[in-house]
Amino acid sequence: MRNRLRELGYFAAILGSSLALACSQPEADSPATTRPSAPLASWQDTAPKRAILDFVRSVTASGGADFVPPEERIAVFDNDGTLWVEQPVYTQLVFAIDRVKAMAPEHPEWQTTEPFKSLLDGDMEAVAASGERGILEIVMATHAGMTTGEFEIIASDWLRTARHPRFERPYIELIYQPMLELLEYLRANDFKTFIVSGGGVEFMRPWTERVYGIPPDQVVGSTIETSYEIRDGIPVLMRLPKIDFIDDKAGKPVGINKFIGRRPILAFGNSDGDYEMLQWVSTGRGKRLSLIVHHTDAEREYAYDREGHVGRLDKGLGDAAENGWTVVDMKTDWKQVLAAAQ
Amino acid sequence: MRNRLRELGYFAAILGSSLALACSQPEADSPATTRPSAPLASWQDTAPKRAILDFVRSVTASGGADFVPPEERIAVFDNDGTLWVEQPVYTQLVFAIDRVKAMAPEHPEWQTTEPFKSLLDGDMEAVAASGERGILEIVMATHAGMTTGEFEIIASDWLRTARHPRFERPYIELIYQPMLELLEYLRANDFKTFIVSGGGVEFMRPWTERVYGIPPDQVVGSTIETSYEIRDGIPVLMRLPKIDFIDDKAGKPVGINKFIGRRPILAFGNSDGDYEMLQWVSTGRGKRLSLIVHHTDAEREYAYDREGHVGRLDKGLGDAAENGWTVVDMKTDWKQVLAAAQ
């Protein structure tokens, strides 16, 4: 149990930040997946774009020294802060908080028990003070106790109706246009693209195929345990209040091995939670490419790195040059940041 | 720990059987993947072949009532006894026993400690008597304590050199020709084919793509825990002596959800270890197909079902008709059983 709690750092880190909660308005979602004809059209013609084009040219050049057969062209992408916006707080935490509020009428005991009381009072400092045990209780109360099918409906409904507080758009529209182009460019060159995220795998799978073109079986993430049961004569998978796997930090190479079973040749992250993944990829034999999104654009998105609790990038930024990792400066390397509303 | 031991039933079941061990001769392996032009050429024109052709026609008929979009055409296959021979004992157990023998010189203590002493003495009854704790020790001694890369080499070397005691061919040649044709036929109809096996995932991944056309990330199986470590300045994944997940019985639908994230529309198994997987697939909404290989051919392969410890098929055989599962009689439904030597 102590280990499990330690692993919850991913969820714990986010609570130190002030929480700006999204308001909910029912409205159909509209994923933004524009497909410009030139590869990487939203990338400036700067070093990162050239590094990507060079890399793909090298590993696909049949007979070349760096050629990689198509089946080994595995590319892994973090999600929060790499493919979609993670500020002011991780989307899945906003979901958990909204769920506590929505479920509160059925849980009168939450009015007097922590961390639910503080959460319902809007006192996030007190929620944070409840520590990892408190976070675990919030996650479990909102993510377990239903079937996998029921959870998919709950998560999908929320994602369809919730709006980001600043951009006032559905969260699944707050995706980076340059990354959509990169995913597509890689797949056009016979790469298989995977998400490797600290987020809950069943919070992502309902929409990643539609939004990113990444099918459910290519989404690696944190998991809770499930049990196979026959309920009223019908087989179901029940989500249990027990962490199965945290796909963050050193858990990312572990998750890559467990779920993908092949060492990727390209990795893209944005925070120190991606450090070990980038390291695992860049230290493999042969030509490799590891990249980091550096959030430098407060105007079009957000500017943050070494400070704060969401997507902190400190060690990775310091070691990038030495490790041969490419840092993508959002402000100077991307012509466009967010995908256009569809 | 008690739970983990209970889960080891898969490994425990095999030890009651008498063990015929393969002798080792170094020789290059030669996978057998003949590709006849007519679909399912090695299947007799009997009910199972017609059921498969009907099913695929229905789910691929654009505009039809049973149409399933390509991205949802997920097919799952057990491995031992469904795709390759599992008699007289599961191949992975033969591997474990051979490994104990090969490692014995470095472990003088095994001469006097159980279950290793009995195993080295050839007394498999005594090994079985050591119970699940004994099996766990054998599995851990042979499958943990090395990096993932080292284990891949060990497993690949063994599979290249070991020979099946009866057929005197490499184990990865002892695959069923009709199943190779089915895998290919399904993929030609835009199915994504997965293995969902009780066997160790890293024992299968080195060869499933070459032999079955199934890439590593589409192999679901039992796993042990790994840890990401820096050893002599180089990142490695160490295999730990701790079971992570047993992908057998009710673990199969759990594994399908965890690794694939989508409910399959076709499942193929052969033993009661596949019961819950077949049930999970056949009770889904829409048109589904669940099939069982019934080993009825002692002449060309083996004949077994309700008795014995390897691949026991009792409940599944009894419930197949009621559950709407198609039973494939190896003797009467398959023109050819094993793939030709290449």
Q: Measured between alpha carbons, how far is A196 from A218 in angstroms, rounded to an integer?
A: 9
The C-alpha of A105 sits at a distance from chain B's nearest C-alpha, in angstroms, of: 31
Please give the mean pLDDT across all residues of chain B: 90
The C-alpha of B250 sits at a distance from chain A's nearest C-alpha, in angstroms, of: 6
Q: Quote the pLDDT of residue B3.
A: 46
For residue A8, pLDDT beyond 60: no
Average pLDDT over every residue of B170-181: 98
A121-155 tens-digit pLDDT: 999 888 888 887 888 899 999 999 999 999 999 99
Q: Quote the pLDDT of residue A37.
A: 65
pLDDT band for position B26 (50/70/90)?
A: very low
B280 part of contact set with chain A, CB < 8 Å:
yes
Q: Measured between alpha carbons, how far is A213 from B215 in angstroms, rounded to an integer?
A: 19
For residue B69, pLDDT beyond 90: yes
| ipTM associated with this complex | 0.90
For B246, the token pair is: 């047993």
Show residues of chain A in contact with B234, CB under 8 Å: 283
A257 part of contact set with chain B, CB < 8 Å:
yes
Show residues of chain B in contact with A280, CB under 8 Å: 228, 235
For residue A16, pLDDT beyond 70: no
Q: Write down the residue that tokens 């290249």 correspond to.
A: B160
Average pLDDT over every residue of B202-221: 97
Q: Worst-scoring range by mean pLDDT, A180-189, B187-196, B276-285, B303-312?
A: B303-312
Q: Measured between alpha carbons, how far is B151 from B202 in angstroms, rounded to an integer?
A: 8
Q: Measured between alpha carbons, how far is A319 from A278 in angstroms, rounded to an integer?
A: 11
For residue B296, pLDDT beyond 90: yes
Q: Quote the pLDDT of residue B37.
A: 64
Q: Which residues pair with B268 in a beta bridge?
A: B77, B291
For residue B199, pLDDT beyond 80: yes
Average pLDDT over every residue of B140-152: 96
- Interface probe for B, chosen from A237, A240, A322 (most Cβ of B below 10 Å), is A237
A65-108 tens-digit pLDDT: 999 999 999 999 999 999 999 999 899 999 999 999 999 999 99
> Is residue A293 classed as helix, strand or coil in its secondary structure?
strand
Return residues 206-245 of A near B (CB < 8 Å): 209, 215-219, 223, 226-228, 234-235, 237, 244
Please give the mean pLDDT across all residues of chain A: 90
For B119, the token pair is: 């195993």
For residue B19, pLDDT beyond 80: no
Q: Quote the pLDDT of residue B24.
A: 31
A231-280 tens-digit pLDDT: 999 999 999 999 999 999 999 999 999 999 999 999 999 999 999 999 99
- Other C-beta atoms within 10 Å of A52: how many? 22
For residue A193, pLDDT beyond 50: yes
For residue A24, pLDDT beyond 70: no
Nearest to A235 by CA among B217, B7, B256, B177: B256
Q: Quote the pLDDT of residue B31.
A: 44
- Other C-beta atoms within 10 Å of B131: how many? 14
Q: Which residues pair with B193 in a beta bridge?
A: B75
Rg of chain B over all Cα atoms, to the nearest angstrom:
20
Q: Cβ distance B217 to A262 under 8 Å?
A: yes
